[in-house]
Amino acid sequence: MSIPRLKSYLSIFATVLVLGQSVAAQAVELPDFTQLVEQASPAVVNISTTQKLPDRKVSAQQMPDLEGLPPMLREFFERGMPPPRSPRGDRQREAQSLGSGFIISPDGYILTNNHVIADADEILVRLADRSEMKAKLVGTDTRSDVALLKIEGKDLPVLKLGKSQDLKAGQWVVAIGSPFGFDHTVTQGIVSAVGRSLPNENYVPFIQTDVPINPGNSGGPLFNLNGEVVGINSQIYTRSGGFMGVSFAIPIDVAMDVSNQLKSGGKVSRGWLGVVIQEVNKDLAESFGLEKPAGALVAQIQDDGPAAKGGLQVGDVILSMNGQPIVMSADLPHLVGALKAGAKANLEVIREGKRQNIELTVGAIPEEGKELDALPKSSVERSSNRLGVSVVELTDEQRKTYDLKGGVVIKEVQDGPASMIGLQPGDVITHLNNQAVESTKQFTEIAKSLPKNRSVSMRVLRQGRASFITFKLAE
């Protein structure tokens, strides 16, 4: 064999050897969860509930068709269909729910999801040794989907609590729960993202993972590699009702804050500004003179709320709070909700193209939101304009009833930009091109001077809800 060919073979052999060693090293680096599971499992519990329901017939035709559901975020299908009615018509059915939870104190306090135990007449907890105990509901918080239970006991096994704020995308995480009733099932994956905002979930910065989560995992713990609880498994994103690779957990920092408040006072206090905000997209950023889409645009301010008292104005774009940047509008409720009533909030805002700081005192979120009713329509037409709308003045009664300092009511929508962006008769326009509208005359003057081929913002109030929309006028 020639020397050059021998060298070639030796080179190939060396390359294969290095690759083999690399693969072996990577295999060695994969985590082993056995010790974590052995230590943590005794403190993970199965939760079932019973709810008495009015007697009715249940047939196969009444079972829901899950396959045809559109994509959505939803709570797990914990509550199964009740069994058929017994021959005796005077008996009641019992609907059973199944979920998970975990013990956080030796004397028997347990964390789980609110939706696991919602509307339950009886809550039953099954421990790792198969013993069962009735649990007392200490308190619930629907906004965070956290519930605190209590069972009688002492020296019970507990889980170590970590810090969810230290989590980073890419880290390994482990879930233990009871999917489909299979107790202490272990699944693993990685953190896909942190600080996720979900529709209708304004106060929880969710942890997104790819850990397999299924019905029955709800309320169970999510662990880091140190065996510390970093979250409560809560929701999945699914088309079929089963796991599809996207699951969400409530950060343990949020859950423990809720738990401590429920234990001490029976309810949860959250910070509140009294504003309606919306996302700043590319067109809105252009219309407000921002370099890039970022921040929370103030679309509406609650009368006599903390924001109104602190000097915040409609049209302000909030860029940061207490030094923490607001990248997406949903970041703001997370930060405000973490504060207690009476705390100070320093907001950096863009107002009329200029940055300024506003300091205000955070209030307590009310039990129920105060909604404005739909505005009545005026009857006298005053002005038409190039936008393709006819507008009328607000009456004194409308201004007083809805606390409007200015604005005009759309009487009619013709073909044109207004029709294209979805404006409707009865809508109230309060701002146009970053200018407050006081009258139909002023509205017409602003409309005449609107720039062409550039994003223009308009604030519209419809049925008591305000939002900014954008449009462009062609040449």
Q: Is residue 253 part of a domain?
A: yes
The reply to whether 245 and 279 lie within a common domain is no
The reply to whether 346 and 401 lie within a common domain is no
* Domain range enclosing 276: 271-364
Q: Is residue 421 part of a domain?
A: yes
Q: Is residue 373 part of a domain?
A: no
Q: Which of 333, 364, 395 is the last residue of a domain?
A: 364
**The domain that contains 418 carries what CATH number?**
2.30.42.10
CA–CA dist 177, 174 (Å, integer):
10
The reply to whether 451 and 402 lie within a common domain is yes
Look at residues 344, 340, 365 and name the one whose alpha carbon lies nearest to residue 275: 365
Residues 97, 100, 144, 145: which is the catalytic one? Answer: 145
115 is catalytic: yes
The reply to whether 334 and 407 lie within a common domain is no
The reply to whether 263 and 159 lie within a common domain is yes
The reply to whether 254 and 277 lie within a common domain is no
Look at residues 280, 284, 270, 395 and name the one whose alpha carbon lies nearest to residue 342: 270
Q: Is residue 464 part of a domain?
A: yes
218 is catalytic: yes
Tokens of 278: 């919306």
CA–CA dist 12, 387 (Å, integer):
73
The reply to whether 314 and 253 lie within a common domain is no
The reply to whether 456 and 393 lie within a common domain is yes
CA–CA dist 325, 335 (Å, integer):
10
Q: Which of 364, 397, 430 is the last residue of a domain?
A: 364
CA–CA dist 124, 48 (Å, integer):
5
Q: pLDDT tens track of the chain, all 475 residues?
A: 566 565 565 566 566 565 655 555 555 578 899 999 999 999 999 999 988 766 554 444 444 444 444 444 444 443 444 444 444 444 455 657 789 999 999 999 999 999 999 989 999 999 999 999 999 999 999 999 999 999 998 899 999 999 999 999 999 999 999 998 899 999 999 999 999 888 777 789 999 999 999 989 999 999 999 999 999 999 988 776 678 889 999 999 999 999 999 999 888 988 999 998 888 988 888 888 888 899 999 988 888 889 999 999 989 999 999 999 998 888 899 899 889 889 999 999 999 888 999 999 999 888 744 433 334 444 333 444 668 788 888 877 667 666 777 888 888 787 777 777 888 887 888 888 888 888 888 888 888 888 877 788 888 888 778 888 888 876 5
The reply to whether 218 and 275 lie within a common domain is no
**The domain that contains 140 carries what CATH number?**
2.40.10.120
Q: Note the maximum CA span of the chain.
A: 104
* Number of folded domains that form the chain: 3
The reply to whether 159 and 230 lie within a common domain is yes
The reply to whether 316 and 451 lie within a common domain is no
pLDDT at 48: 93
User: In 237-257, which positions are buried (b, 16+ CB within 10 angstroms) versus exposed (e)?
Assistant: bbeebebeebbbbbbbbbbbb
The reply to whether 262 and 276 lie within a common domain is no
Residues 48, 97, 100, 115: which is the catalytic one? Answer: 115
Q: Is residue 437 part of a domain?
A: yes
Kindly give, in sequence order, each residue whose CB lies less than 8 Å from that of residue 72, ignoring residues fewer than 6 positions away.
Answer: 237, 238
Residues 218, 234, 320, 457: which is the catalytic one? Answer: 218
Q: Which of 268, 286, 319 is the last residue of a domain?
A: 268
